[in-house]
Structure 1
Amino acid sequence: MNTPQDSSLGREVAYPSQYDPALLFPIPRRGAREEIGLDEAALPFVGHDRWQAYELSWLDRRGKPRIAVATIRVPCTSPNLIESKSFKLYLNSLNSTRFDDDEAARLRMVTDLSACAGAVVTVQFGVPPLVEEGEGESLDERDVAIDRYGPPAPEYLSANADEVVTETLGSALLKSNCPVTGQPDWASVSIRYHGPKIDRDGLLRYLVSYREHAEFHEQCVERIFSEISQRCRPEWLEVEARYTRRGGLDINPWRASPGIAQPARTVRDLRQ
């Protein structure tokens, strides 16, 4: 019988780079229920275990990242619960996996989680807003093929010197890895500038090229600021990334050209 002591809890575990449903670790409910006098065949309640997954991502068939916020419900009548660290590792194993469409990704999760729980698990996707209302243009639905996920590739960056604009571009597809723990760091990034019009496809490819890069949040934002400045030559530039929280903390590095006022309001990203 699986117990918490047999799981990955409390152990140093490398974060997976490839899809692996075997990471999921089931723990039978029966033993703990017997300790409090509950009969599995005649439970005095109904219910479910509802999980909210805010750091969920995979690749489409052309290699571009997709993201979602997922609600997962495990029925309380399932013979097993799903151990939390194994669940997190499993979800991260999807990061480099290609699916034909979002529904194929959802159904794969349903199959794997149901097998672990021993009963039908439901999975619902909600797609977070890609850019806050009024904050500019999202890059994330652009139809581009992507095959480079690290190291960062500033050569993708370019701008049209014949067209000068003032605009804000955003993406919710920024991901890098902690250089100490290897854990994934997720963020939405906003880029506001005045200068030659930045090529959208190139900028999106550049941001996605951080996906397997290991660097602290603050350093990633400074690298983005520096490389856009060098390659696209804006007259002024502002970059802010809103990272999802860990241990109750979220961090939102902001870097701007001298003279640019700091953001007047703090905005929480849906995944924060």
Structure 2
Amino acid sequence: MQQNDFIEASPLGKESAYVNEYSPQLLFPIPRNKPWHPKFSKRPFYGIDVWNAFEVSWLNKKGLPQMALAEFRIPADSPNIVESKSFKLYLNSFNQSTMANIAHVQQHMTEDLTAAAGAPVQVTLFNLCEKAMTVLPTPGVNIDEQDIEISTYTPDARLLMVDSSAYRTEILHSHLLKSNCPVTGQPDWATLVVEYEGPSIDQAGLLAYIVSYRDHGDFHEQCVEQIFLDIKAQCKPGQLTVYARYLRRGGLDINPYRSTRPLAPSNHRTERQ
């Protein structure tokens, strides 16, 4: 199946009926290993996609609306991602549904998302009074103040450079990552964090490379994977982690994490989220 076929089947960019009663069939899975993306004989990273939902609601047995925040962790090696509009429509379907308690809602979501992703999905619901998803400063050195001229707005890995004479362990970040939805063309804004150990990465080149995604259309997960693969190939770090914190749309944000190390990321929101 080609990219246009997936786009045609997806609810993105189309009028969708608002369903406010529990409907797991609204979830639309998309294979991660799509024909138009690079294939791996062995996946060269560990990773997870952390989704946060800020508009989760249902009715208790007396008809009183309940509210929660939700965190979803989808493994990066799951067969499928879940298309974001379908995810939002699915969450909306709880709005007028009666649920016994918050644990019941969490159980439904765990089962439904695991079935859609094709791998175990971890779901955590938080009461609004809990201190969940706190905001912390973005880690590392901000590279956005480089005095550079930029004319490339489609991904170009040749912009990435290193100083082989210097070896560093450092964290760099930029608030200037922007890509576009491959279906609607709407902009997706993110803060990108790059943590590495290896030859010193040229900050001006890294910034130019990040900005080169500005006119690029792809899903969040694939953008982060391509950034990881390009830095790994061009800069040859011994250790590498690439983590993007995208801004929310429709009450959902997506935060893909890819790393050479099998570690689970924290879920602290950035200043922009």
| TM-score, with length taken from structure 2 | 0.49
Greater Rg by CA: 1
| TM-score, with length taken from structure 1 | 0.50
Bigger RCO (CA 8 Å, 6+ sep): 2
